[in-house]
Chain A
Amino acid sequence: MRTHLRLSWIAALTLLGACAPLEAPVDDAEGASRYALEPLLRPGSRFLCPALELHFEFHAFGDAIQAEVSQARQPDGTQLIHIVGTHTMQFDNDSTTSVFHCAGWVDAASKVIPVELPQANIAPLALQSVRLLPFANGTMVYGWNPNVATALWWKQGAGSAVELDIQSLSGSIGVRADQAGPVTMTSTSPASFQKWVIDATPKVASDGPPVTYALPAGATMGLVRYLDEVAPGIFAWVQSSPTTNSLEYFRTDRQAPATVAFTDTSIRRVSRNSSTGHIEIVASSAYDWDADGAGAVASSALPAQALGYAAWQLTKSGIGISEKAEPNPNASKLRIPVGYQVAWPESGAFVVRDTPSTPCSERDSCRAVAEHYLLGAVQSGTQRYGVYYAWPWLESTVRPLIVLAPVP
């Protein structure tokens, strides 16, 4: 009898155990691809932001992905990285383009902190218009969405960015010499400059009276490509004139502009090198203009692409990317990137480096989770990073991940 009792006890215990359920969050599929990918990444890799929501139906296909990766160096040396891109999907008789954006902050310890961005119906034009303006207390993402009259404001160290009303900021925009806020310029004659501050609200407020500057005799206003305040009360801007095929550099403390012939019409970005003070122009080549000095212009043409690689794509940050891809044997309308070359501007010339096609230590393990595309590249200190778009194979919706991974 005792045997039967013991037997029944053991059997009941086992049965109870086998039937007892484990409780779990029901949304674990939301993080499944991220969790599956994470242990496969190269050391030092991080997810830049939560999975993107593209709202495509899952049976759609297409790998037409374009993106613009921007970075802003904060006064403390940390980096804010912002990505805006488009992914176009094909359906049976139709195609749809979805715009995504994402941002992350690489802090002083190289830790990536995702920055939550507002959800919005962003126009694809944002790829051309977005610009990061770093200030002492935060960074403005200007032109993030051409549909609205706002910028994004990221307060230094914050986990999210908020929309900032910039209707009062008319004209061209640049950064003040003290980085306390933006400076704007109206393209009239005389030109008018206004300094602004961004308070903790955040709200934009004018700071002092506007400063006017009469153009030198014979000079006319052109298309302003770049504006900044080089010293307190002294403003500078670069403008182009399609009619004269030249670039002009004005300073409010000088009577005559510096001029250089410039026929490259595909200008993507004009900026000032914070170390040399030179004006840098990214067009079909990268240019370095000593506009404040001797006026010399050095240009660096991208080298010929390697055999099997596609033509160079020059990003707004002046980095060239060339992709080598194969047709996907399992989907004739998709490609498999098998390698990248990235051309980094260094000392006035491009240095080409082979770059992995995935952010993983082992390419095949990465491809078992997702297809990967290199969107761009950034540099933080001496460390270079590739920004990868990881498009998981197994999801109920299209929810790509953005991975920041060290590259050579």
Chain B
Amino acid sequence: MQHSDVRRFSSAPRQPRRTPTAGATLAAAALGALQLVRAPEVQAQTTFRGQEIYDMARAGIDLTDSQLRLHQANERFGTMYSHFALTSRWAPGEFVMADGTRLRGNLARNQVLLGGGWGDTEEGMFFLGAHIDQLAAVGRPGQDKQSDADRFKPGGVAQMLYYLGGSVAGVQASAGILLNEMGAEQLSLDGYGNFAAERSNSPRPGSPPEVQDPSRRHNPPNSALFTLYDGHTGAYLAITYGDQEQRLMTESWTGNRTYRTERVGSGIQDLRFNLQPLRHYLPAGFGLPFATIARYDRPLTELSPSPQEQVAHKTTDFALGADDVLQGGVRWRAVINQDGRLRIAELGYVEEFRIGRFGLLFGARAMAVNRTGSYEPSGEGFLKASLLRKRPDVEGRATPTWFGLSGSYSYNTPDSTTFIPIPKAHVVGVQLVYGPTEVTKPLIPLVRAVDGRSSREED
């Protein structure tokens, strides 16, 4: 099973409904350059609305997923190489403020990874490190300055993980502190969920509990994160343990009730299990197949105006695909919603050129994305240069990169691994990795297919 992306989309102005087929849209998207050429003229159409950006950030930032990737890299290389990775992706657009005015700026997602270890996964290994994942709303040069008191500093939401762990006989375990800076106030949202210069006002007497105490905008409590990974089966278990929250009510002598959330006691907050064998069980021609079931909140842009339908927020996607089909670097994926709608049709291709230890990797994928009943094109491309180590530290395991540098461009991507899936957004990204590139999420998830092929070749 491949870990599912939890996706939410912003409610950018709806486009007139067209009904091109997925194939036609995919073909248009495959041209790639179409969107690249059109980028400047449609750039200003990307709108950032506070609550939607915040919801997408809450859904997309998940360091327990990053920890799984780290364990898998350790298993692959037999040890944890010292590493530092910085991923930064930016999208220009307009922030819609609380009074409806629009301010141009950028939305950025920054991920930092730092870590290292001693020993190997079979005979004994100790490792430690840190992850930071941040979504920030930032200004752009040239904006008029006002006095400090008048400044709107949306800042950013972030999750941080500091961990240490060990491994014996291919079984890795880690423990860490997961810190959340995920409150809506970090993005300067007001009580209505809009970007605002002023903080939220206190609710007046009589307001509903959700207005007084909007749990969907709370910063989740910090946690202790415990992970367990079995390299033989690919089984992964993550448990977060920490404060439990409860909404409490106080009634004044005038009969007014006020609500607030308080932390009461401790316990398991979240439990996650993942199974993803890293070995090939099918003939090589099938590539690396994957299947995904994802249950998530239905994106706002996919909601019908009908109030009855808006109640049913949860929906499920079924995805099937394969990387590196026929060992030719081809990737395909189809995502079908529970309502029978083909949400995403994807075709990708990666190619790698190697001269000695130096490698150059190029990848692109085209998608037809169906959010609101009509298909829209989506395209992504990246270029990555890397330098391999001379030899692996652990005999019989894959040779990691020593250094890697990537750049990417995306349009209208539904992917939330390294950005957030804002419709019509143009996203540029850069990734710099010292150490194995596998430890961090790729800018565009096409790298893994080639890496898989490479490892087989080396095997």
Contact = CB atoms under 8 A, between A and B. Distances in A.
Interface residue tally on A, bucketed by range: 35 or more
Interface stretch (A16-24, A147-155, A269-277, A312-320): A16-24
Interface string B362-402: 00000000000000000000000000000000000000000
A23 B101 CA distance: 11
A231 interface: no
Contact of A28 (B99, B134, B207, B208): B99
A36 B141 CA distance: 29
B88 A61 contact: no
B382 to A, nearest CB: 16
Interface string A12-41: 011001101111111111111111101000
Contacts of A34: 99
Contacts, number: 176
Given A28-B97, A59-B204, A362-B307, 20 more contacts: A6-B432, A18-B156, A21-B139, A22-B105, A24-B101, A24-B197, A25-B197, A28-B98, A32-B191, A33-B192, A35-B100, A36-B194, A58-B202, A58-B204, A330-B212, A331-B206, A331-B256, A393-B204, A393-B206, A394-B211
Interface stretch (A117-125, A163-171, A254-262, A363-371): A363-371
Given A17-B108, A23-B152, A32-B190, A368 B211 contact: yes
B244 to A, nearest CB: 24
A72 B201 CA distance: 38
Contacts of B137: 22
A220 interface: no
A31 B98 CA distance: 7
Contacts of A331: 205-206, 254-257
Residue of A18, A32, A361 ringed by the most chain B CB atoms within 10 A? A32
B368 to A, nearest CB: 28
Nearest to B100: A35
Nearest to A25: B101
A18 B136 contact: yes
A333 interface: yes
A328 B209 CA distance: 12
B207 A23 contact: no
Given A330-B205, A367-B208, A61 B254 contact: yes
B257 A330 contact: yes
A368 B139 contact: no
B151 interface: yes
Interface residues of B, number: 66
A10 B86 contact: yes
B237 interface: no
A334 interface: yes
A386 B154 CA distance: 38
Nearest to A330: B257
Contacts of B204: 58-59, 61, 393-395, 398
Nearest to B110: A14
A14 B197 contact: no
12 contacts: A10-B88, A18-B156, A29-B201, A32-B98, A35-B99, A61-B254, A328-B206, A330-B207, A331-B257, A332-B256, A393-B204, A396-B201
B98 A29 contact: yes
Interface of B: 84, 86, 88, 90, 95, 97-101, 103, 105-106, 108, 110, 134, 136-141, 143-146, 150-154, 156, 190-198, 200-212, 254-257, 305, 307, 310, 403, 405, 430, 432, 434
A11 B208 contact: no
Contact of A32 (B194, B207, B255, B257): B194
A255 to B, nearest CB: 62
In the A-B complex, the 10 residue pairs with the smallest Cβ-Cβ separation, listed nearest first, are A332-B255, A31-B99, A331-B206, A36-B192, A393-B207, A24-B152, A28-B99, A394-B191, A32-B98, A362-B307
Contacts of B139: 20-23
A381 interface: no
Given A331-B257, A362-B310, A28 B192 contact: no
Contacts of A332: 254-256
A339 to B, nearest CB: 16
A330 B209 contact: yes
A334 B432 CA distance: 59
A42 B145 CA distance: 39
A310 interface: no
A347 interface: no
A293 interface: no
B208 A368 contact: yes
A301 B432 CA distance: 80
A26 B103 CA distance: 13
A329 B257 CA distance: 8
A158 interface: no
A3 interface: yes
Contacts of A13: 88
A20 B156 CA distance: 12
A7 interface: yes
B333 to A, nearest CB: 30
Contact of B138 (A7, A17, A27, A393): A17
A330 B255 CA distance: 7
A28 B201 contact: no
Nearest to B151: A21
A6 to B, nearest CB: 7
A72 B307 CA distance: 35
Given A23-B143, A28-B196, A59 B138 contact: no
Contacts of A330: 205-209, 212, 256-257
Contact of B153 (A21, A32, A59, A371): A21
Contacts of B305: 361
A26 B257 CA distance: 31
Contacts of B150: 23, 26
Nearest to B136: A18
Contacts of B194: 28, 32, 35-36
Given A22-B152, A332-B255, A393 B88 contact: no
Given A17-B106, A329-B257, A330-B206, A25 B192 contact: no
Nearest to A3: B403
Given A10-B86, A17-B106, A26 B206 contact: no
A26 B197 contact: yes
B210 A368 contact: yes
Contacts of B432: 6-7, 10
